[in-house]
Amino acid sequence: MTHDYENPWGYRLKWLYMLTVVGVLMLPVFYTLYISFNYGGFGAAEYEFTWLWYRTLFENQEIRTTLGWTALIAVIVVACTIPLALLAAKFYQRTRFKVPFVFLMLMPLFVPADVTAAALLVYFKNLNTLTESVLGLAMFELSLWTAVIGQITWCLPYAFVVILVTMARFRPEQAEAARTCGANAWQAFWHVEFPQIRAGVFASTAFVAILSFNEYVRTNFLKGGFDTFPTYLVSYMLNTGMTPEVYAMAGLFTVVSMSVVIVVLATTMLRERS
Amino acid sequence: MTVQESAARTRPVPAVEAEGIAKNYGSVTALKPTSFAIPAGSYFVLLGPSGGGKTTTLRMIAGLIRPTGGRVRINGADVTDLPADRRDTSMVFQGAALFPHMTVEQNVAYGLTLRRLPRDRIRSEALEMLKLVGLAGFERRRPHELSGGQQQRVQLARALVLKTSVILLDEPLAALDAQLRRDMCFELKHIQESVGITFVHVTHNQEEAMTVADEIALIADGELVERGTPEHMYETPERRFTAGFIGENTLLDGIIHGHGQEARLVIAEGLEIPLPNAPVGEGRPASVSIKSEDFRLAPEAVDAVSAPVEVVDVFYLGFSTVMHVRLPDGRPATVRSTTGALPTRFRSGDRAVLSWRPEAVRLHLA
Ligand SMILES: Nc1ncnc2c1ncn2[C@@H]1O[C@H](COP(=O)(O)OP(=O)(O)OP(=O)(O)O)[C@@H](O)[C@H]1O
Ligand SMILES: [Mg+2]
């Protein structure tokens, strides 16, 4: 379609809209990034480029440990959430109760984070009392695993929706054709459906990784005796205020998240072009 | 040798046997209990109007849907409880059923790779099948780089390569244009004859059915209405519905009057069709059908039975001409004549006489 007859104001408004979005959403982030490379930090008289603050970050053993925990949790959360989301999307296609099912799946998005987190905390406490009295072992002490569970409740709805959308484009005749060629249900899924929804699975993997990497509220309530990068950043910030290190930490966040998004976009576009 | 054994020896086991198979979706009946047997090596067509239950029947044979009643046997073995991958059947779908992320060769080879055959054997068999369906040299293409007709050939190769005893085809030509459909029909028939596998083919297209079928089963409203050779279905249909669906017939309903030589079907005041020796008694409702080419339209009566008519429409189709006429009580009838054999050029509004031979009248009691 051409835009020959488009109202020129429509075109101008579109640009205005884009600039506003960039201005409001991106500028502060880029500004923080800019400050993080300044030797004098925020409010200094002149700008002097430096890697110093980032070097300090990576030389800090504590921060390296938090990054390790964050990465470990992200990997476990992705490894659990993606198969769960696939199962949920498959179930959605078969169930007759689609609306209640979707509602159930998306509910974690509508319950405030601190409510979910506090609720899970209480729930784990109760489970602890229960397993302790029955098995003599508190199985739900706050730990890596409780944090993982808290994050999965948060990430699953997103992964579910992304996978569901890609799955909707799959033609079920193809799975049936695979069955009539002698494939069992699992082979039909793995050989025929999965390769076609791989882009969606890949995108939701990246999405979940970012969500997990950035998650604060639930993790803070449910983690054991360790810090993840976000919980460390927040407590550090509360203790010391906006020091140059905080800018560098924020910058690190931005760079990691954005690079994941860019990689996903780039590979998706490359795939679509081929 | 026992009696049963000798009976089994003389009567070959059908490739497909449906015994009272039925399918309900809640309160919707897709197929009422239906029984039929398909002889091994034959080309069997399920024909019928949309929504009649053809796809349902085929998919129950394939093992893609489970019947709510009855049994399905393939080569004598009860497979009712087995899923599609454990039945000796393969299938060709209407369209979009090729695996888009695989090449043509990988598509055709897919079933063989599942069987874990040696690589070079898989390759040679896949290539051989592609050659059989006329697609040698296309093996490296992707499905979206093929035309609709080529895609259907690949599907056929993918089904044939498995050497199952039955191949099921659900409207395999529906997405193709008329000319290509005709060519593919000849080809399907030819391939079926050369490989000798039982084909079960679903279509709602009469011409397609007549071209390929050894036998046609007419399915409508969840029921098997009638089955027989294409010739039987066209020339001597038993059921009124068959006469209405296959060919271009004029159907007339009435009541039987008289006996023996005097028996006739009274359709309306002044419109009676003699039915000498009709095998039914006085007062019974019945129908007759007459093929459009068995009518003759002329300025005066030219055959044993006749009725005055008014010409309504005339369609010149080249080799033949189709005329819609109105019988004295206003009932429509369709006449088809080779254009060259028409005594005059009729125009709408003309008065003429419609004649036919008594043997052209076919009686339907149901
Ligand atoms: N999943 C389903 N749920 C409810 N009703 C169904 C379902 N599948 C089929 N039906 C109904 O069963 C009947 C037979 O359907 P079927 O698909 O077998 O018809 P068909 O003869 O193949 O028609 P067509 O020529 O249009 O493909 C139809 O009335 C259809 O609406
Ligand atoms: Mg159908």
Residue B322 has pLDDT above 90, yes or no: yes
Instruction: Give the total number of structural domains in chain A.
Output: 1
Range of the domain at A215: 57-273
pLDDT tens, A96-123? 999 999 999 999 999 999 999 999 999 9
User: CATH number, domain at A195?
Assistant: 1.10.3720.10
* Ligand 1 lined by B23 (C-beta under 6 Å): no
Among B127, B112, B134, smallest CA distance to B191 is for: B134
Span of A133-137, A177-181, B40-44, B234-238 with lowest mean pLDDT: A133-137
What does the block give as tokens for B135?
Answer: 């697609």
pLDDT of residue A28: 87
d(C-alpha B124, C-alpha B150), whole Å = 20
pLDDT of residue B4: 53
Residues in A closer than 8 angstroms to B162, CB to CB, are 181-182
Residue B5 has pLDDT above 70, yes or no: no
d(C-alpha A206, C-alpha A257), whole Å = 9
| Average pLDDT along chain B | 91
Residues in B closer than 8 angstroms to A173, CB to CB, are 93-94, 96-97
Strands across the sheet with B215-220, in order? Answer: B89-92, B166-170, B198-203, B43-47, B215-220, B223-228
B28: confidence class by pLDDT, cuts 50, 70, 90 = very high
From the CA of B47, how far away is ligand 1's center (Å)? Answer: 14
B1: confidence class by pLDDT, cuts 50, 70, 90 = very low
Question: In this predicted model, which residue has the larger pLDDT, A264 or B91?
Answer: B91
pLDDT of residue B330: 86
Q: Is residue A252 part of a domain?
A: yes
* Ligand 1 lined by B59 (C-beta under 6 Å): no
Residues in A closer than 8 angstroms to B91, CB to CB, are 176-177, 180
Residue B155: closest CA among chain A residues belongs to which residue?
Answer: A177
| Burial zone of A22 (CB within 10 Å; 0-12 exposed, 13-18 middle, 19+ buried) | exposed
Average pLDDT over residues B327-336: 91
Give kind and range of the element (H or E) at residue B58. Answer: helix B54-62
Residue B62: closest CA among chain A residues belongs to which residue?
Answer: A180
B325 SS3 class: strand
Residues in A closer than 8 angstroms to B170, CB to CB, are none
d(C-alpha B100, C-alpha A139), whole Å = 48
Q: Is residue A13 part of a domain?
A: no
Question: Residue A81 region, left (φ>0) first, then alpha (ψ -120 to 50), else beta?
Answer: alpha
**Most B CBs within 10 Å: which of A169, A171, A174, A180, as the mutation test of the B interface?**
A180
Q: At residue A67, what is the residue type? A: L
d(C-alpha B146, C-alpha B151), whole Å = 6
Q: Model-level pTM?
A: 0.84
Q: Is residue A228 part of a domain?
A: yes
Q: Is residue A35 part of a domain?
A: no
List of chain A residues with pLDDT < 70: 1-2, 272-274
Instruction: Look up the ipTM and state it.
Output: 0.85
pLDDT of residue B7: 52
Residue B118 has pLDDT above 50, yes or no: yes
- As beta bridge partners, residue B264 has B257, B274
Residue B274 has pLDDT above 90, yes or no: no
d(C-alpha A257, C-alpha A23), whole Å = 19
Among A59, A56, A82, A69, smallest CA distance to A220 is for: A69
d(C-alpha B19, C-alpha B39), whole Å = 14
Contact A147, A223 (CB under 8 A): yes
A185 SS3 class: helix
pLDDT of residue A6: 77
Average pLDDT over residues B128-156: 93
Span of A32-41, A168-177, B20-29, B123-132 with lowest mean pLDDT: A32-41
- As beta bridge partners, residue B266 has B255, B272
Question: Residue B20 region, left (φ>0) first, then alpha (ψ -120 to 50), else beta?
Answer: left
CA A173 to chain B, closest CA, distance in angstroms equals 5
pLDDT tens, B98-114? 999 999 999 999 999 99
Q: At residue B265, what is the residue type? A: L
pLDDT of residue A274: 62
Q: Is residue A159 part of a domain?
A: yes
Average pLDDT over residues B190-206: 94
What does the block give as tokens for B139?
Answer: 């093996």
From the CA of B49, how far away is ligand 1's center (Å)? Answer: 11
Which atom of ligand 1 approaches the CA of B28 most closely? 5
d(C-alpha B247, C-alpha B362), whole Å = 13
What does the block give as tokens for B72?
Answer: 């399905």
Do the chains contact at A182 and B97, CB–CB below 8 Å? no
Q: Is residue A2 part of a domain?
A: no
* Ligand 1 lined by B170 (C-beta under 6 Å): no
The contacts of residue A104 (CB under 8 Å, 6+ apart) are: none
Average pLDDT over residues B67-72: 96
Do the chains contact at B162 and A182, CB–CB below 8 Å? yes
Contact A12, A237 (CB under 8 A): no
Residue B177 has pLDDT above 90, yes or no: no
Average pLDDT over residues B223-245: 95
Pairing of strands B305-316, B351-356: antiparallel
* Ligand 1 lined by B315 (C-beta under 6 Å): no
Q: Is residue A72 part of a domain?
A: yes
Q: Is residue A90 part of a domain?
A: yes
Strands across the sheet with B264-268, in order? Answer: B271-274, B264-268, B249-257, B285-291, B362-364
